[in-house]
Amino acid sequence: MTVNEAQQLVDQWIKKHGVRYFHELSNLAMLTEEVGELARVINRHYGDQSFKEGDPNEVEDELADVLFVVLALANQTGVDLTGALEKNLEKKSQRDPQRHQNNPKLK
Ligand SMILES: [Mg+2]
C-alpha cells in the first residue's frame, strides 16, 4: 500500500464508518492521545514500567492508531503526504547531510 492509497483508505473509512471527519482540533487532540498510548506501550515494553493486566500491549496497533490520525489530518488539511515526506527528507538531507554521521554518540 502506498502512502497515497493509505490516505484514500482512511478517507473512505471515515466517510463510511465515521460519518464525517472530526474537527481538525479534535483530531489534533486525538493524535496527542494516541501518541500517549504509544508512549505507554513502548515504556512498558522497552522502559522501566511493567504491564498491568488488561493493558494494551501491541506497539503495532498503537503505531497504526497514530498513523490513522496523521492520515486523517493530512486529508482534511489538503496535504499529500507522499510529496510532503519527499520534500521533508530532501530538506533534512540538505540541511544536515553529515550531522548524524559526525555525532560521536552514535558510534
Ligand atoms: Mg491507541
Establish if 22 belongs to a structural domain. yes
Establish if 90 belongs to a structural domain. no
- Angle of helix 59-76 relative to helix 24-46, nearest 10 degrees, comes to 160
Establish if 87 belongs to a structural domain. no
Establish if 92 belongs to a structural domain. no
Establish if 97 belongs to a structural domain. no
- In the chain, the number of structural domains is 1
Establish if 101 belongs to a structural domain. no
In order along its 107 residues, the chain shows pLDDT tens digits of 999 999 999 999 999 999 999 999 999 999 999 999 999 999 999 999 998 888 888 999 999 999 999 999 999 999 999 999 999 999 999 998 888 888 999 99
28 CA distance to ligand 1 middle (Å): 14
36 CA distance to ligand 1 middle (Å): 8
Note the pLDDT of residue 92.
93
- Kindly state the cell numbers that stand for 53: 493486566
Separation CA 73–CA 63 (nearest Å): 15
CA 33 to centroid of chain Cα atoms: 12
Establish if 104 belongs to a structural domain. no
Establish if 106 belongs to a structural domain. no
Domain that holds residue 57: 3-81
Buried b (16+ CB within 10 A) or exposed e, 1-34: eebeebbeebbeebeeeeeebbeeeebeebbeeb
Note the pLDDT of residue 54.
86
17 CA distance to ligand 1 middle (Å): 18
- CATH label of the domain that carries residue 20: 1.10.287.1080
Note the pLDDT of residue 91.
95
